[in-house]
Amino acid sequence: MHKLAFYKLVTVFLFATVFLAACSDQGATVVSESDTVNIPVDESVIFITNAHIIDGAGNVFERGSLLIENGRISEVGNGIVEPLNALVIDAGGKTVMPGFIEGHRHIIRGNPDEWMANQSETNMQEFLDAGFTTVLSAIDAPQILELRRRINEGEIAGPRLLTGSFVPINSLPPGEPTTDPARTDVSRPPNRPTEPAGKIPDQVIIDAVNNIADQGFDFTKTVVTVTPNGPEVESLTLMVEETHKRGLKAIVHAVGKWDLLEVIKAKPDHLVHTPHIGQLTDEEVQTIVDAGIPMVSSLGTLGIFYDENNQPIFRDGYPYSWDTLPSVGQGPVNARLLWNAGITYGFGTDTTFNPRETLKHELKTLFLVFSEQDIIEIMTAHTAKAVFLEDEIGSLEPGKAADVVIIDGDPLDDLFDLLKVDLVIKGGHIVVNRM
């Protein structure tokens, strides 16, 4: 890449000289003279040129340019004039895309204070290295707010963080805590509850929401397995209403189709996990899509991966449990049916480990039922909408935040080129540079 030089050599036509020559009485021909001068580079002006651009708004430009000024995208497309003072990045042979958005993660692992002291900086850089410029943390230790502050105030580099915290809406435990939360809950027959769960007192829910809002979180989140004649929909409705009173959004985890069809009655803002327990009928698909609530994928949760001995494992390394095998198909098929019916479908992994690895896992499972073009649409515009930042990120359009990745290859041609991130810009600043 163009070195981050403070000056660059620019050829300038000396129009003054031309003008004088033209006005002289001596009948001299007009000569265009030129000279080379040093122009100071303004690093808040970045001009990416010669690029294959996927703008996330439905356009693809060949040999296009992207102009960034003061942290924002100011122009994108063909025929854009390079400002003299711009830092120029030649993206020949590469693809320029919106920064990736992770719509569902859990970030802090182990002892939160130790993690903050020893791992947070490396982990945040790993997100940027993988191309993620925005990450939604849906339940983490409260230290996540301090992490967000450090990133926002420039103390460490990291993605934009959106944060959520847990509100209980019934007395059922959310699941076995040692493995993937989306995988080990009680939504799967024959484990489904046969008795109503206990009701959480309304005041407990109201206080929990207010406490979350007071601390500065962006989202409330709950996990729902509905129980026969249980309190779930009523309590969830209360949680959603209280959440909205405080200007936050409500996330609901529901992975069984029976759970999902109930929780949408409470009108939450955001659904996490594609339902992967139970195959949706066309009518059920339509009911879910008509609710108008965005959903985040996390299909990799139930994918089959293999260890070095070719043994089937879950993506987090646990041995594969064959009683979950139907979910490998039901999740992706439900996703495709919901997509066909027009749902807003965002990208999210629900993982706790390496961002690039989890991107690979999620792409593998999305690719079962979606094309490269669909997946890019999911990862850009749809995820931005699913996290309520569609006015700010998710596409390369004038006025939006300059969150940009440069990829060594073309993901429309080979999806897994998305793993080859060469350069990342967040808010107009270069945060990863391997060019």
Q: Which residues bind Zn ion (CB under 5 A)?
A: 350
Measured at the CA of 386, the angle between CA 385 and CA 388, to 5 degrees, comes to 60
The two beta strands, 312-313 and 305-306, are antiparallel
Choose between 55 and 350: whose C-beta lies nearer to Zn ion.
350
Q: Which residues of 399-432 are buried (b: 16+ CB within 10 A; e: fewer)?
A: ebbbbbbbbbbbbbeebebbbbbbbbbbbbebbb
Nearer to Zn ion, 98 or 181 (CB): 181
Q: Are strands 42-54 and 404-407 parallel, antiparallel or unpaired?
A: unpaired
Q: Least Å distance between CB 107 and Zn ion?
A: 11
User: Whole-number minimum distance, CB 182 to Zn ion, in Å?
Assistant: 6
Residue type, 105: R
Residue 235 gets which letter from DSSP? Answer: H
Of 223, 334, 224, the C-alpha closest to 276 is 334
Rg of the chain over Cα atoms, rounded to whole angstroms, equals 25
Which among 326, 347, 312, 315 has a CA at the least distance from the CA of 276?
A: 326
Helix axis angle for 282-290 and 325-340, nearest 10°, is 60
- Minimum Å gap between C-beta 255 and Zn ion is 10
For residue 211, give every residue at least 6 positions away whose Cβ sits within 8 Å of its Cβ, in sequence order, or none: none
Give least dist CB 109 to Zn ion, A: 13
Would you say 49 or 327 has its CB closer to Zn ion? 327
Smaller CB separation from Zn ion, 102 or 350: 350
- Residue nearest Zn ion, Cβ-based: 350
CB of 337 to Zn ion, least distance (A): 23
Which candidate, 136, 130, 102, places its Cα nearest to that of 378?
102
- Looking at the Cβ atoms of 96 and 147, the one nearer to Zn ion is 147
Q: From the CB of 183, what's the least distance to Zn ion, in Å?
A: 10
Whose Cβ is closer to Zn ion: residue 269's or residue 350's?
A: 350
